Chain A
Amino acid sequence: MKLLTVGDSFTFGEELSDVIDNVTSSRFAWPELLGSRLGWEVTNLAKPGSGNTRMIRNIVNEIDNHDVFIIAWSHWARIEFADAIGTFDIWPGCSALPHEQFSPHRKNAIDYVTRYHSDDYLIRQYLLNVELLETFLKYHKKKYIMLSAFGKPIETNKTFTNYLGWPNESMMEWTYGTPQGPGGHFLEQGHQRVADKIYEYIRHLDGVS
């Protein structure tokens, strides 16, 4: 089986011991741990600071190349913008400093989003994205699991198929009490817990539906 994972820094494995740049994901991150336990081939397209739109784009682009997809959604408030240089992910309150190396104007977008965003709108867009991606994956008859990396639970009656932990749990709850790096990311023990949790879910489903 060929598994594709998408997510943010928590799926990338940021702060794990073998990470040397922000391009190559960690061999000790949960996707690799899960893949080796299942004997599946893993492609991990997670990126630190990724928003949810980037994940959707990666899934759409790769839909024919993999059998199973795991989408580890980031915070619901992360959104994508684009300028002449390219796309970039921002969220209310995010730091402008990393963006200034690309364009000084990006801080204006961040300032606008931080001052005037609507959480209600961002939550609606997030729920819509999850629903549309689910429909897309089902249309292509692909197996998938969704989960959340972090963030306060969304108050909603909406239910999703194969959204592990929805709506109250994220990786933060599963890794509670495990060591963290200075940047707030759980380390090897936490990644093992996430991999175990997903493995059990797959076993419970008797394969991924």
Chain B
Amino acid sequence: MSWLKNIINRIKLEIAYRKKLKELRKRDPFIYK
């Protein structure tokens, strides 16, 4: 069952990352040109 735990952990990390990314994009929303 460790493979299942690994997948769940990976999904959790990815969700946390997406949330963090949203906040970071608000912090500096400007585009490199």
Chain A positions near chain B (C-beta within 8 angstroms): 8-9, 14, 22, 47-49, 75, 77-78, 88-95, 98-99, 114-115, 150-152, 183-184
Contact = CB atoms under 8 A, between A and B. Distances in A.
A22 B32 CA distance: 10
B33 A22 contact: yes
B32 A90 contact: yes
Interface of B: 17, 20-21, 23-25, 27-33
Contact of A77 (B20, B25, B28, B33): B28
Contacts of A95: 31-32
The residue among B23, B28, B29 with the most chain A CB atoms within 10 A of its own CB is B28
B16 to A, nearest CB: 10
Contacts of B27: 75, 77, 92-93, 151-152
A94 to B, nearest CB: 6
Contacts of A115: 17
A114 B17 CA distance: 9
B30 A8 contact: yes
Contacts of B29: 184
A114 B32 contact: no
A49 B25 contact: no
Given A78-B28, A99-B32, A114-B24, 14 more contacts: A9-B30, A22-B33, A47-B33, A48-B31, A48-B32, A49-B32, A77-B28, A89-B32, A91-B28, A92-B24, A93-B27, A95-B32, A98-B32, A151-B28
A184 B30 contact: yes
B25 to A, nearest CB: 5
B30 A88 contact: no
B12 to A, nearest CB: 14
Contacts of B30: 8-9, 48-49, 183-184
A88 B32 CA distance: 9
Contacts of B33: 9, 14, 22, 47-49, 98
